[in-house]
Structure formats: structure tokens, C-alpha cells
Amino acid sequence: MTHSLSSGGSVSPDTYRQIFDMVDAGFCIVEMIFDGDLAVDYRFVAVNRMFERQTGLVDPVGRTARELVPGLEQHWYDTYGRVALTGEQARFENGSR
């Protein structure tokens, strides 16, 4: 099935979800939690299956990073916070302890 936005068609949210889940890289959308300008936590808004497989986090949506991984390194909060504050893109391959 194909959709053409230029011809007035629309793509359903289910189609976007299928694409999101088919990506072969871990992907998440988070809501940042700040104390002033300091990123102190983030809540998972959406994740794809590969993200869950790569991180081992089970049902993270709606939960915070500090809740799921209490000892998570500060660089994760700094990285995601910088993206949220500046709008700059970030792509990385880092592990967590």
C-alpha cells in the first residue's frame, strides 16, 4: 500500500507506528525534566522495539530514567538536555554501566 501526500492522501498514525517499530536502530522520544538549566531526569514518551531490545528496559514509556536506571551516568542527562535546549541533533553509540 502506498500513500501520496501530494495527492491529498494522508498517512495513518498506525502506519507511522509501523515504520517507527521497523527501524533497525534503537529510538526513543523523551520529555526532559530540568532544575533551572540542568537536566536532572527524563520521561520516556515513546520507544521502538529495537530500543527496548538494545537497552533491556521493559515497558519504559511513562517512566523516568532515574526510576528505571538509578545509577545512570550524568552524560545521558547532559546529552538529552543539550538537544532539548538547543534543538541540535544528536546521534551516538554509547553504552551505560
Q: Is 92 exposed, middle or buried (0-12, 13-18, 19+ CB in 10 A)?
A: exposed
- The answer, yes or no, to whether residue 92 has pLDDT greater than 60, is yes
In a domain, 5, yes or no: no
Beta-bridge mates of residue 28: 47
Amino acid 20: pLDDT = 66
Q: How far apart are CA 45 and CA 29, in angstroms?
A: 5
Amino acid 95: pLDDT = 61
In a domain, 92, yes or no: no
Q: pLDDT tens for residues 29-83?
A: 899 999 998 999 999 999 999 999 989 999 999 999 999 999 999 999 999 999 9
In a domain, 82, yes or no: yes
pTM: 0.74
Determine the residue type at 92: F
In a domain, 97, yes or no: no
For the chain, the domain total comes to 1
The band of 89, judged by pLDDT with boundaries at 50, 70 and 90, is confident
Query: What's the number of CA atoms in the CB half-sphere (13 Å) around residue 77?
Result: 19
- The answer, yes or no, to whether residue 2 has pLDDT greater than 50, is no
Domain that holds residue 72: 11-86
List the CATH number of the domain containing 65.
Answer: 3.30.450.20
CA 37 distance to own-chain centroid: 20
In a domain, 2, yes or no: no
Q: pLDDT tens for residues 25-38?
A: 888 889 999 999 89
In a domain, 1, yes or no: no
